[in-house]
């Protein structure tokens, strides 16, 4: 009987082939000569996240409002191009888990430093100009990334003293020198509003537009007044404090006593500022103005007018 011959079993051959491939793969994954096989032990650490505000003299574009933190980024632009803010300084806040609150002691101290930087940059107090400060603390994202720098800026005021005018050129030195050489000085303004009474005075004011004193206007800046420190007053008390203080500023501006000013009856008191947000940041300043009837517009300054009739 013919003995049958069994067919070869392929399993041992397949196993040998797989083992050979595995050895080749493992050999290919081996490190080159002179290496330890650790892929990450010699990588340098990533640099720490940082943020540096633009240097003084940089111009920025975007929406801002006096004594309110900017809500959106302010991109850099050439100062010869239209812009709203000019950087006058910067500083570094103390380290903490989160950025300082707007009404914190640290924010008030930082704003005070910005105030000094603005005066040095402008050549005078911004409160005597048609200007307002822009104060920007690090955002939460920047703070978490390690940024601790705050920005100090200045904006020129448009048709009220808390909204920006888009301008070209620099504000540097704009409040320095003699009165006639201070191109950014706040002098005369023209009011617009509603509820005009029979005497020609507005019952409500919508806009305060700075103008030169040789064009028709009804209002003139007489100086700034700073309220005493303390809690933010109730509105009625605030009106009384600012009204009385500005009344005195007007009398001094005209060169007469408060009694003589009362007897004139043709000059009223007007003031702006002293918002709750402004007070919270440590600035308690009001802008004081004298105001005349829209029926008798002025075309020159009335500084030193005394008891004489309006020109």
In the chain, domain spans: 54-176, 186-311
pLDDT of residue 13: 37
* Alpha-carbon gap, residue 153 to 26, rounded angstroms: 63
SS (H, E, C) 193-209: EECCCCCCCCCEEEEEE
- For 184-205, letters b (16+ CB in 10 Å) and e give bbbbbbbbeeeeeeeeebbeeb
pLDDT of residue 162: 82
Main-chain dihedrals φ then ψ at residue 119, nearest 5 degrees = -60, -40
- For 10-22, letters b (16+ CB in 10 Å) and e give eeeeeeeeeeeee
Main-chain dihedrals φ then ψ at residue 175, nearest 5 degrees = -120, 15
Q: Is the confidence at residue 223, as pLDDT, over 80?
A: yes
Choose the weakest-confidence range: 24-38, 90-104, 287-301.
24-38
Q: pLDDT tens-digit profile of 146-195?
A: 999 999 999 999 987 788 999 999 999 999 987 667 999 999 999 999 99
Q: Where is pLDDT greater, at 133 or 8?
A: 133
Choose the weakest-confidence range: 4-8, 14-18, 179-183.
4-8
Q: Is the confidence at residue 29, as pLDDT, over 50?
A: no
* Alpha-carbon gap, residue 54 to 77, rounded angstroms: 11
Q: Is the confidence at residue 104, as pLDDT, over 90?
A: yes
* Alpha-carbon gap, residue 79 to 60, rounded angstroms: 8
Give the three-class secondary structure for 226. Answer: strand
Q: Is the confidence at residue 39, as pLDDT, over 80?
A: no
- Confidence band (pLDDT; 50, 70, 90) for 69? confident
* Alpha-carbon gap, residue 159 to 141, rounded angstroms: 34
Q: Is the confidence at residue 75, as pLDDT, over 80?
A: yes
pLDDT of residue 44: 54
Q: pLDDT tens-digit profile of 270-296?
A: 999 999 999 999 999 999 999 999 999
Instruction: Find the length of the chain.
Output: 311
Q: Average of pLDDT values for 246-262?
A: 98
Q: Is the confidence at residue 125, as pLDDT, over 60?
A: yes
pLDDT of residue 72: 87
Comparing C-alpha atoms, which of 146, 115, 140 is closest to residue 46? Answer: 146
Q: Where is pLDDT greater, at 196 or 11?
A: 196
pLDDT of residue 50: 55
Could you give the percent of the chain with pLDDT greater than 70? 83
pLDDT of residue 51: 66
* Alpha-carbon gap, residue 188 to 56, rounded angstroms: 29
Cβ(227)–Cβ(286) below 8 Å: yes
Comparing C-alpha atoms, which of 132, 106, 103 is closest to residue 231? Answer: 103
Q: Token pair of 152, please?
A: 């100090």
Confidence (pTM): 0.81
Longest Cα–Cα distance in the chain: 150
pLDDT of residue 35: 52
Q: Average of pLDDT values for 20-36?
A: 44
* Alpha-carbon gap, residue 51 to 92, rounded angstroms: 11
Q: Average of pLDDT values for 85-93?
A: 97
């Amino acid at each position: 009987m013919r003995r049958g011959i069994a067919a070869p079993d392929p399993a041992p051959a397949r196993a040998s082939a797989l083992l050979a491939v595995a050895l080749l793969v493992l050999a290919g994954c081996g490190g080159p000569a002179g290496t330890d096989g650790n892929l990450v032990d010699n990588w340098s650490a990533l640099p720490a996240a940082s943020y540096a505000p633009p240097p003084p003299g940089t111009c920025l574009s975007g929406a801002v409002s006096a004594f309110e933190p900017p809500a959106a980024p302010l991109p850099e632009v050439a100062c010869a191009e239209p812009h709203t803010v000019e950087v006058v300084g910067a500083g570094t806040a103390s380290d903490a888990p989160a950025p300082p609150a707007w009404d914190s002691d640290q924010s008030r101290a930082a704003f005070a430093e910005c105030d000094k930087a603005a005066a040095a940059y402008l050549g005078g107090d911004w409160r005597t100009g048609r200007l307002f400060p822009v104060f920007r603390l690090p955002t939460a994202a920047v703070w978490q990334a390690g940024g601790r720098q705050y920005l100090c800026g200045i904006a020129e005021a448009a048709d009220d003293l808390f909204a920006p005018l888009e301008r070209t050129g620099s504000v540097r030195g704009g409040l320095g020198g003699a009165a006639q050489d201070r191109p950014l000085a706040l002098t005369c303004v023209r009011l617009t509003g509603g509820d005009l009474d029979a005497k020609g005075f507005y019952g409500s004011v919508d806009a305060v537009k700075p103008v030169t004193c040789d064009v028709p206007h009804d209002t003139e800046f007489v100086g700034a007044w700073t309220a005493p420190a303390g809690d933010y007053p109730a509105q009625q008390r605030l009106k009384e404090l600012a009204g009385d203080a500005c009344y005195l500023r007007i009398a001094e501006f005209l060169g007469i006593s408060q009694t003589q000013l009362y007897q004139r009856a043709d000059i009223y008191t007007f003031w702006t500022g002293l918002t709750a947000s402004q007070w919270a940041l440590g600035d308690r300043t009001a802008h004081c103005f004298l105001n005349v009837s829209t029926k008798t517009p002025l075309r020159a300054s009335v500084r030193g007018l005394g008891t004489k009739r309006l020109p």
